[in-house]
Structure 1
Amino acid sequence: MRRLRQLAARTPAGRQRYVDLLRALAIGMVVLGHWAVAAIGEDPTGRPTGRSALPELPWAYPLTWVAQVMPIFFLVGGYANAASLAARRAAGVDATTWLLDRGARLLRPTTALLLVIAVGAALASLAGVEATLVRTVGWFATIPLWFLAAYLIVVPLTPAMQALHRRFGLLVPAALAALVVAGDVGRALGPAELALPNYVFGWLAVHQLGLAWRDADAGRPAPHGPRSRPLPLSRHAGAAMLLGGLAATVLLTTVGPYPVSMLNVPGERLDNAAPPSLALLSLTVAQFGAVLLLRAPAERWLRRPGPWQAVIAVNAVVLTVFLWHLAAAILLVGALDAAGKLPTPPVGSAAWLAWRVPWVLMLTVVLAALVAVFGPVEARTGRAGSAERGDSAGRQGDARRAGDGVASGRAPAGRGWRATGRAALTAAGFAAVVYALVVNAETPRSAPEPLGVPAPALVAYLAGAGTLRLLRSGWGSRG
């Protein structure tokens, strides 16, 4: 508590606390949503199984418009990445070094999760557990990594997308939205694979809106010409976005071809979130409008020490919470099944609905224990650079105090081919990590994988993450 009070007291006056709150709330909503719709049953052999209850709860589809908060996370990510990149550049830091530091906050907690899964799966396989069962458990535990694959594509593009924003403003997210529409038409008329680029175009459009939000917040002038105006942030603009976005989403999901649910419903012809659809983008506009309308009261509330300390505490381990929340469910189901106390009421029944409360409470306890063990990995990374949470003042101070160019985050002294090679290796490291996460997501849950995750994916991930770690430590930046 003393450290939280110290961190709260040292918060720069210009820090956007509301952005931190939105990040914490978005991840919290994802966790609660996954837990709430979990349906636990048994297979013919008596083993516990898990699935989404949404196909049997059509009355809950409109509620997913509130529960689907990944757009908020990418929106906040765009804001934070723009703020962090601007602060690091002001301190004399190059884009490659910024990206390496940004990636560390994401990859260290992810590496811990994958290594624990791989080691646990290997031990289970050596003990005689079927490889298909090992993979099923690993598949469930790594479901959160689909988001990380998309985010690790978007983050390295931030410098280029910020340059495009400075030149073309809001035309950039508009063009990306048009590409999403093209992808939707493609999957409606042809194979679903035609919409795969929407994984990049859709989330990049939301992230780009965050970049525009940050520039408008900072009072940066819009690009010249009537074609590009700054993003409006007034309450009137927020109300217009909320109402207009909701109206468009209603039309797209009733008159239009898109499903009502904004979360994955097995069996639906289209999925609004995987990959992002035009309906999800219209909902994003509505959510951003709500964000603007709630901003003033939320910022007043965050000026109080208690709420702000709570936000700091959550954000210190927010990725750990996200990465381990399904592992917590696996552990709880296993423990209850071993004790013969695992309830499996029919989905939608009174017993199933009543079970939601103790279920979520018990999962919270299990997740809290996991965060206590693995949270320090993320927290230490966050303390190594306060700019990872959008704190510009902390990074600038670090850069001024440190004498070593690499330790301070300054651009390496070498120029030319050395800097180009370092940037290329950074890109290759990120590409290897993204490849690994995509391969894991595409590998069926019933595949015989004795390590829980595909061995090629694990090797590619460790190679990519290891390369980025070496580069961040200064390897390759000196002659």
Structure 2
Amino acid sequence: MPSLAELVHRIDTATPPGRDRAVDGLRALAIAGVVLGHWLVTALVAGGDTLRAGSPLRVMPELAPVSWVLQTLAVFFLVGGLVNGRRRGPYGAWLKARTARLFRPVGALAGVWAVSAGAMFVSGAELETVRTLGTLVVSPLWFLLVFALLTAVTPLVSRLHPAWPLAAVACADLVRYGLGGPSWAGWVNVVAGWLVPYCLGLTWAARGLPGRAAGWGLVAGGGLAAIGLVAWGGYPAAMVGVPGAPVSNLDPPTLAAVAFGLAQCGAAALLAGPLRRLLARPAAWAAVAAVNLAAMTVFLWHQTAMIAVTVAGLHAGGRLPGLHTAPDGLGWVAARLAWLPAFAVALALCCLLFHTYERSSVRAPRRRVEP
């Protein structure tokens, strides 16, 4: 069995010399933001034999700025545009490979949860509990559908300026909020909203990452626009969904969320240089490469890991603070932070068990580190 140093060296030498490691670093940061965000803002409250979903943001709205740090979906789509904009080879083969990587691991998740749901029903679990847990697992999958759609239309939107989908988002919000139009008009934003950072990534793939002035311009412009829309436009402060809130910035995406995403894209451009220098170090690159090679597994199974720890704790010790109790104050936040290592261990076990479904879709003949 190779030592850690040998493994780090092997990963470093297997990486193509021309690979932009900063892109992988940005993807890893985006994954970490999504995972930590879900683990921190999702509460499973035990009441009798039932588990119900809650959120500390509903009780403690002053924590909304945390969601501005950990809601990193725009960076996912930006990186997707950067990677897909550099595609080579026939479109059909490329699209087949990309969609296989996206959806092959979903089959394993669906199979495990179909069996789990059946076992819960047989054991007498409450319908609300099964629905709550199933929703937590399934709800992140919308991302894959949107990303797959944008990947498929990459040749059509490769020269589309991000300002056009941004204008579509603004018009949709104007119709549903400003003019009292139907709420379904907002579903245009499910595609248009994420097309903004995706098109930005395609543009940067063709022309190169912007300079510091342009990066700071996006940070300032997008950030100030998002703050203004929250302060005076009536948009919610949280950049994630809050149970029971009348408006969500993500379901579907709002103009505030898209403006915030532009600020994140600017920050990503500014971080690219420092990340590139950091990831020239073999040890740092090995860690980022490992995350990227298991990106889909981490994304699909992180909610299951949290659920597994929650259910195991319920059977072992009853109602545990930060795990089964209502998110009613900073004490709950402190307790939840203490549970994060347990969630991480459970996620690592999930990756060991199910990473093979992702590896089989990205294995290359020369075994290089793939995006």
TM-score greater than 0.5 by the shorter chain: yes
Q: Does 1:77 align with 2:80?
A: yes
CA distance in 2, matches of 1:133, 1:238: 45
CA positional deviation for 1:388: 9.2
CA change 1:82–1:112 in 2 (3 A) is same
Alignment of 1:189-204 (within 5 A): 189-204=180-195
Q: Which amino acid in the other structure matches residue 281 of structure 2?
A: R
Q: Establish whether residue 323 from structure 1 lines up as the match of residue 300 from structure 2.
A: yes
Instruction: Give, in whole Å, the separation in 2 of the partners of 1:40 and 1:129.
Output: 15
Show the counterpart of 1:417: none
Give the match's secondary structure for 1:142: helix
Matches of 1:383 and 1:150, distance apart in 2: 24
C-alpha change, 1:115 and 1:247, in structure 2 (3 Å) is: same
Q: 1:275 to 1:367 in 2, by over 3 A?
A: same
Contact 2:197 2:265 in 1 (8 A): no
Letter in 1 for 2:252: P
2:353 matched to which residue of 1? Answer: 373
- 2:18 equivalent among 5, 14, 17: 14
Q: Which residue is 1:24 aligned to?
A: 28
- Residues 51, 129 of structure 2: 8 Å contact kept: no
Amino acid at match of 1:285: L
3-state DSSP of counterpart to 1:258:
coil
Root mean square deviation, CA, Å: 2.1
Structure 1 alignment gaps of length 5 or more: 218-231, 391-479
For 2:139 and 2:310, how far apart are their aligned partners in 1? 17
What is the identity, as a one-letter code, of the residue corresponding to 1:37? V
TM-score, with length taken from structure 1:
0.71
SS at match of 1:339: helix
**8 A Cα contact 1:4 1:312, kept in partner:** no
Q: Deviations over 1:402-425 (max 9, x none)?
A: xxxxxxxxxxxxxxxxxxxxxxxx
Tell me, which stretches of 5 or more residues in structure 2 are unaligned?
Answer: none
Q: Distance in 1 between matches of 2:221 and 2:169?
A: 19
Distance 2:120 2:230 in 1: 45
Number of residues of Structure 1 aligned to a counterpart in Structure 2: 361
Task: Tell me the secondary structure at the aligned position of residue 266 of structure 1.
Answer: coil
Q: Larger C-alpha radius of gyration, 1 or 2?
A: 1
Counterpart of 1:285 in 2: which secondary structure?
Answer: helix
Separation of aligned partners in 1, 2:174 and 2:112: 41
| 1:127–1:248 Cα change, 3 Å | closer
- Structure 2 equivalent of residue 401 of structure 1: none
* Secondary structure in 2 matching 1:197: helix
Taking structure 2 as the reference length, the TM-score comes to 0.91
Question: Any idea what SS the aligned residue of 1:291 has?
Answer: helix
Secondary structure of the 2:139 match is coil
Secondary structure (helix, strand or coil) at the match of 1:49 reads: strand
Q: SS of the residue aligned with 1:380?
A: helix
User: Percent identity of the aligned residues?
Assistant: 38
Maintained 8 Å contact 1:8/1:312? no
Deviations 1:322-374 (A, max 9, x none): 11111111111111111124324452434312212321111111111111101
